[in-house]
Amino acid sequence: MSILDAYKEKSSNEREVDASQKIKVGIIGTGWIAEAHLNAYNNCPDVEIVALADLIPGKAYDFAVKYGMDVENLHFYESDRELIDNEPDIDAVSVCTYNRQHAPCTIYALEHGVNVLLEKPMCVTLEEAIEIRRAELKSGKVLSIGFQPRFDENMKMVKKIVESGELGDVYYIQTGGGRRMGIPTPFGTSFIQEDTAGIGALGDIGCYSLDMVLNAVGYPKPLTVSGYKSGFFGKKPEYLDKPEYAEKFSVDDFGAAFVRLEGGIILDFRISWAMHMDSPGDTIILGTKAGMRIPATECWNGSIGGPLVIYSNCAGMPVETVIPERQNSGDNFDKKIRSFVDAVKYDLPSPVPSSQIIFNQAIIDGIAKSAEIGREVEITFPDDVL
């Protein structure tokens, strides 16, 4: 190592990897996001992808051909169960199915002693999240939830600032994000149908903005939620890639909530796939010593809409401190996969643990349930999953 490199911080994907000890991985669901998992696993010299599964006959094989995989040395299956039942030596799977299949696939894999990297959102309902958590605790295996923004330098900075105490005691958070016109139908309708997605904007991007702020303040338990959701735009053909998708739209495209968190923090949240507004607003975190503004973002990739600004008083005068945007070294998705592989190989704690994300899911579930009955709901958790 050159003397000039001596003080360089190594990013997780620059770290030297022991490729002599490989782990065997399978991918369940070979749709859109599976490509990103494949690419990131390919960047891990200590991972061997041994099997692919998709419910649609031939889809897993076609995926392998499309991405130049060695089909002779791969096994293809038509369901998650078939893969798990026939691959007794597999170490881990990525669950890349649509949301409704997150819980069954994850629980089945964990019950069979397989470590799981589960795409976000964790699942659809709180009841499912509880069952996932129970299966994980019983198995003793690693379960990590696929929030790649966690590995973003600016997201880490948000957390670092809150944890430093610079803001004092946090008592109010306004967060959310989204788009004016951006209902996702990249490869069909799995994001916008109730029977596949279960939840719309809330689960697709809402979970990210919740994770950004909840992670920063240490994931306090949600106590109550008063929520709202609507779907006025998804049924309009002009809002969709293909007009015929409009009749299939059956989830939310906007959601909002007022949430009380343990420790006296109020969370004011809104998320949008479509609305007549440019942005649902910046994220603000108010503390007793200072406040922080995180300019509005689309949420999913960890990007922030500009530099963070801290508002405080100096010698009795209001002052603003601008925190310059930090550059990432390496790709956040690669880091998400690498952190999971390391946890599996070296028996490390889950990088994005379900013990936290169950609270994220509980808020989303609380919004859906509160919206349905038209009043605030209380959120409770069985003791065995906390």
Ligand X SMILES: NC(=O)c1ccc[n+]([C@@H]2O[C@H](COP(=O)([O-])OP(=O)(O)OC[C@H]3O[C@@H](n4cnc5c(N)ncnc54)[C@H](O)[C@@H]3O)[C@@H](O)[C@H]2O)c1
Binding residues (CB under 6 A) for ligand X: these are 28-34, 53-56, 59, 79-80, 96-99, 101, 105, 119-120, 146, 148, 187, 190, 204, 300
Radius of gyration for the alpha carbons in the chain, expressed in angstroms and rounded: 21
How far CA 218 is from CA of 159, 212, 239, 316, 380, in Å, comes to: 9, 10, 37, 30, 18
Specify the amino acid at residue 110. Answer: L
Distance CA 357, CA 129 (A): 9
CB-wise, 170 or 363, nearer to ligand X?
363
Which one, 87 or 119, has the nearer CB to ligand X? 119
Comparing every residue's Cβ against ligand X, the nearest one is 31
Between residues 90 and 170, which has the closer beta carbon with respect to ligand X? Answer: 90
Q: How far is the CB of 99 from ligand X (least distance, A)?
A: 5
Backbone angle region of 218, left / alpha / beta, with phi > 0 → left and psi within -120 to 50 → alpha:
left
Minimum CB separation of residue 39 from ligand X in Å reads: 12
| Residue whose CB is less far from ligand X, 55 or 246 | 55
Nearer to ligand X, 90 or 105 (CB): 105
Instruction: Give SS3 for 376.
Output: coil
Closest separation in Å from C-beta 136 to ligand X: 18
Q: How far is CA 128 from each of CA 108, 125, 151, 174, 242, rounded to the nearest angstrom?
A: 13, 5, 26, 27, 32
Least separation in angstroms between residue 364's CB and ligand X is: 12
With contact defined as beta carbons under 8 Å apart, do 190 and 344 qualify? no
- Alpha-carbon dihedral 199, 294, 164, 333, rounded to 10 degrees: 50
Considering the complex, what minimum distance in angstroms separates the CB of residue 34 from ligand X?
6
Two tokens at 196? 């596949």
Q: Which is nearer to ligand X, 13 or 174 (CB)?
A: 13
CA distance 64 to 48: 14
| Residue 101: CB minimum distance to ligand X, A | 4
CB of 30 to ligand X, least distance (A): 6
Kindly tell me which of 208 and 261 has the beta carbon lying closer to ligand X. 208
How many CA atoms within 13 Å lie on the side-chain side of 184? 20
Q: Which is nearer to ligand X, 33 or 371 (CB)?
A: 33
Q: How far is CA 35 from CA 7, 58, 69, 204, 351, in A?
A: 35, 16, 12, 18, 21
Q: How far is CA 7 from CA 3, 123, 151, 329, in A?
A: 8, 42, 21, 15
Please report how close the Cβ of residue 21 comes to ligand X at its closest, in angstroms: 27
Say whether 79 sits in a helix, a strand or coil. coil
